[in-house]
Chains A and B, each alone.
Chain A
Amino acid sequence: DQQVKQNSPSLSVQEGRISILNCDYTNSMFDYFLWYKKYPAEGPTFLISISSIKDKNEDGRFTVFLNKSAKHLSLHIVPSQPGDSAVYFCAASAHLRNTGNQFYFGTGTSLTVIP
C-alpha cells in the first residue's frame, strides 16, 4: 500500500525555468514532509522539509508547498540549473505517533535540466 505517491517518473525542464515536482499522500496522520535529492551511486540527501502547521517553506531556489486538504505537496525549483538533475524523493512521517520518525517514501521523480 503506497501511502506516498509521485505519479511523474520523470520531468525535463529547460535551464532557468521552473521545475515543479508533485507528491500526493493518503495517510492523514502524516504531519511532516521532506524532499530528498539523490544522485547516482549516492544516498539520498536532505533538501527541504515542511511541517503540517505550515503551507509553505522556502530555502533559496527551493520552495515546498503543502495543501493538507488535498493531501498534496509540491517542490518548486526556480531557476532550475543543470546541477539540479537528479532523482527527487518525497517522504512523509507521522511524528506525533512517536514511532521514531519512520519515513514513507514516494517512488521518485527523475528531473533533467537541459542546458
Chain B
Amino acid sequence: DTGVSQNPRHKITKRGQNVTFRCDPISEHNRLYWYRQTLGQGPEFLTYFQNEAQLEKSRLLSDRFSAERPKGSFSTLEIQRTEQGDSAMYLCASSSRQGAWVAKNIQYFGAGTRLSVL
C-alpha cells in the first residue's frame, strides 16, 4: 500500500495527557498537511510542510499543538495537555510538487487518527 498512512487509528486519552500522532506520506510527495475534522464539519486546515520546513500554520493550532517533519519524510503532530475540545479526527494529506498542474494540486488523505479525550 503506497497511500498515506496514519498511526494510531484511534487514541483514547485522559484530559491533561500528551498525545502524539504519526503520518507517513506517499513516498515521493514533498508536501504534507494536517487537518482536523469534528463531527458534522469538513476538514479544517492546521498546518503545512514543504519538505522539512513548516510554511504555514492555522490560528487553530494553539500553543499546545506542535508538528514536526524532521527529515522531510514522516511527520508527527503532538498535542500537550489535551482538553475535551481536542476530540476530533486528525487527518494527514500529502501532495507532490512534481508533474502536471492538476496532479500537483491534489491532496491525498490518510484514514485519520480519531482522538477521544475523556
Q: Is B82 close to A, CB under 8 A?
A: no
Question: Do residues A105 and B107 form an inter-chain contact, with CB atoms below 8 A?
Answer: no
Q: Is B111 close to A, CB under 8 A?
A: yes
Question: Do residues B107 and A43 form an inter-chain contact, with CB atoms below 8 A?
Answer: no
B33 to chain A, nearest CB (A): 8
| A1-56, CB < 8 A from B | 4, 6, 9, 32, 34, 36, 41-46, 49, 51
Question: Do residues A43 and B111 form an inter-chain contact, with CB atoms below 8 A?
Answer: yes
Minimal Cβ-Cβ distance residue in B for A106: B42
Question: Do residues A89 and B48 form an inter-chain contact, with CB atoms below 8 A?
Answer: no
Question: Do residues A43 and B110 form an inter-chain contact, with CB atoms below 8 A?
Answer: yes
Question: Do residues A101 and B112 form an inter-chain contact, with CB atoms below 8 A?
Answer: no
Question: Do residues B50 and A103 form an inter-chain contact, with CB atoms below 8 A?
Answer: no
Cβ-defined partner of A99 (8 Å) among B56, B102, B107, B108:
B56
| B78-118, CB < 8 A from A | 91, 93, 95, 101-102, 105-112
Question: Do residues B48 and A102 form an inter-chain contact, with CB atoms below 8 A?
Answer: yes
A25 to chain B, nearest CB (A): 12
Given contacts A89-B42, A105-B43, contact A49 B107 (CB under 8 A): no
Q: Is A107 close to B, CB under 8 A?
A: yes
Q: Is A93 close to B, CB under 8 A?
A: yes
A41→B109 CA distance, assembly (Å): 12
Q: Which residues of B contact A99 (CB under 8 A)?
A: 48, 55-56
**8 A–B contacts, CB within 8 A, in A order:** A41-B111, A43-B112, A100-B50, A100-B55, A101-B107, A105-B35, A106-B42, A107-B40
Instruction: Show the binding face of A for B, using Cβ within 8 Å.
Output: 4, 6, 9, 32, 34, 36, 41-46, 49, 51, 89, 91, 93, 95, 99-108
